[in-house]
């Protein structure tokens, strides 16, 4: 039986079951667009789940037929943009918002999975790409969307996409603003898996539970190693791998895994 986690708003739902936290955008009437209520709630719940020892995997998804449509375009041109903030202040504010959302997702010590029932557009695309893995329904698609409203992009989508598909393909997608349907996204490496629309929830839960049953500390170090591999040279990564492996070899989970292997039974990991 799962437990609900209070996010402070009905626009963002969260429940935890079998060590898997599922966080759901809940603005289906706005295609789960971001806003001044849901976005701060997402930042806060990520911190809560990072500190929750019962949570080993985080799934981010959307209620209805969209993952997240990105910024609420109808609200643009009001609010922050009409204040007396200087350009430099606005830059610093956006940098902070990015660091506390997509950078936090990228550096989260626990694995993250984006489950896409439909569109991941604009900043919603950036959020999905900041997760470690992505599973999509057949009807899902990515769309940068920034050029259509005269913007260049934010929340790290251009960096994440370049890591996945290279600069030339990223420029094509961003410059044209075209949709990348699920089948193409899978072929490009933007998705790990595509499933039938009706199977998305069950398949995502099965995959998340499989990871959640693994050794949490070792998986945390795996994520650190792989993230570092996108930014450091081979020698640095070798040294880092040695440090992480020796440290995790001292854990109870490692001893339990060895014992279970000898006894020919599944190991029970406790994150210690």
Cα 225 from Cα 217, distance rounded (Å):
12
Q: List all residues 6 or more positions away from 214 whose beta carbon is below 8 Å from its beta carbon.
A: 269
Which residues are paired to 60 by β-bridges? 23, 114
Q: Are 137 and 197 in contact (CB under 8 A)?
A: yes
Least confident of 83-97, 104-118, 134-148: 83-97
Comma-separated ranges of CATH 1.10.12.10 domains in the chain: 216-263
Q: Is 181 left (phi over 0), alpha (psi -120 to 50) or beta?
A: beta
In the three-class reduction of DSSP (H, G, I as helix; E, B as strand; rest coil), residue 75 is classed as helix
Q: Where in the chain is the domain with CATH 3.90.226.10?
A: 3-212
Domain 216-263 has CATH 1.10.287.40: no
Residue 43's nearest CA partner among 77, 16, 68, 8 is 8
Rounded Cα distance, 46 and 232, in Å: 26
CA atoms within 13 A on the CB side of 74: 6
CB 7 within 8 A of CB 39: no
Q: Rounded to a whole number, what is the distance in angstroms from the first to the last CA of the chain?
A: 24
The percentage of the chain sitting over the pLDDT mark of 70, rounded to a whole number, equals 96
- The mean pLDDT value for 128-151 works out to 96
SS3 category, 268: coil
Secondary structure (3-state) at 205:
helix
Measured at the CA of 4, the angle between CA 216 and CA 110, to 5 degrees, comes to: 20
Class of domain 3-212: alpha beta
- Interval 197-205 mean pLDDT: 97
pLDDT 10s digits, 35-75: 999 999 999 999 999 999 999 999 999 999 999 999 877 66
Over residues 73-92, the pLDDT tens digits come to: 766 655 455 567 899 999 99
Name the maximum alpha-carbon separation found in the chain.
Answer: 68
Cα angle 21-26-28, degrees, rounded to a multiple of 5:
140
The runs of H, that is alpha helices, within 15-61 are 38-51
| 162-178 pLDDT per residue, tens | 999 999 999 999 999 99
């Amino acid at each position: 039986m799962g437990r609900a986690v209070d996010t402070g708003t009905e626009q963002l739902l969260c429940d935890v079951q079998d060590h898997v936290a599922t966080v759901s955008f809940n603005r289906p009437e706005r295609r789960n667009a971001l806003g001044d209520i849901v976005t701060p709630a997402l930042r806060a719940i990520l911190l809560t789940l990072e500190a929750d020892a019962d949570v080993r995997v985080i799934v981010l998804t959307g209620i209805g037929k969209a993952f997240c449509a990105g910024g609420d375009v109808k609200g643009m041109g009001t609010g922050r943009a009409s204040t007396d903030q200087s350009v430099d202040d606005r830059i610093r504010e956006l940098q902070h918002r990015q660091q506390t959302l997509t950078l936090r997702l990228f550096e989260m010590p626990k694995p993250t999975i984006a489950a896409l029932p439909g569109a991941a557009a604009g900043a919603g695309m950036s959020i999905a790409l900041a997760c470690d893995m992505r599973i999509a329904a057949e009807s899902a698609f990515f769309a940068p969307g920034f050029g259509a409203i005269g913007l260049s992009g934010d929340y790290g989508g251009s960096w994440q996409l370049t890591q996945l598909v290279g600069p030339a393909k990223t420029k094509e997608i961003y410059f044209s603003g075209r949709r990348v349907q699920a089948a193409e996204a899978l072929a490009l490496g933007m998705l790990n898996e595509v499933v039938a629309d009706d199977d998305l929830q069950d398949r995502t839960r099965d995959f998340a539970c499989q990871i959640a049953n693994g050794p949490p500390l070792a998986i945390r170090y795996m994520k650190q190693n792989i993230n570092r591999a996108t930014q450091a040279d081979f020698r640095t990564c070798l040294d880092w791998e040695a440090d992480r492996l020796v440290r995790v070899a001292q854990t109870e989970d490692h001893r339990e895994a060895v014992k279970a292997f000898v006894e020919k039974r599944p190991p029970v990991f406790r994150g210690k």
